[in-house]
């Protein structure tokens, strides 16, 4: 099992939430974040490496934003992919 964590920001609270989990792959993050409200921003990390920045766009719909070099690209958050899961 590999160690991952999510950083969830919903715009309603000043402090983001961190959720640690172990899984065989990063796709398990969708199971953890599936009940979050629309508009929540999620960073998916494996250790010190940022794997993805996602935004929940609707019921079972996620927008994958660009990230480079293990850091969120704040200035470049154009969607790369929107997927229904």
- C-alpha gyration radius of the chain: 12
Residues 85 and 18: their CA atoms lie apart, in Å, by 22
- Residue 77 pLDDT: 46
Q: What is this structure's pTM?
A: 0.73
Share of the chain above pLDDT 70, in %: 78
Band the pLDDT of 84: cuts 50, 70, 90: low
Provide the residue ranges of all domains of the chain, joining segments of one domain with +.
2-84
- Res 23 pLDDT > 80: yes
- Res 24 pLDDT > 80: yes
4 or 76, which is more confident: 4
- Two tokens, residue 23: 């899984």
Band the pLDDT of 68: cuts 50, 70, 90: low
């Amino acid at each position: 099992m590999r160690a991952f964590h999510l950083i969830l920001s919903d715009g309603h609270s000043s402090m983001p939430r961190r959720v640690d989990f172990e899984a065989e792959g990063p796709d398990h993050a969708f199971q953890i974040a599936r009940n979050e409200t629309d508009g929540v921003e999620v960073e998916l990390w494996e250790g010190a490496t940022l794997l993805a920045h996602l935004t929940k766009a609707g019921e079972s719909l996620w927008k994958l934003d660009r990230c480079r070099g293990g850091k969120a690209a704040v200035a470049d958050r154009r969607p790369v992919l929107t997927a229904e899961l």
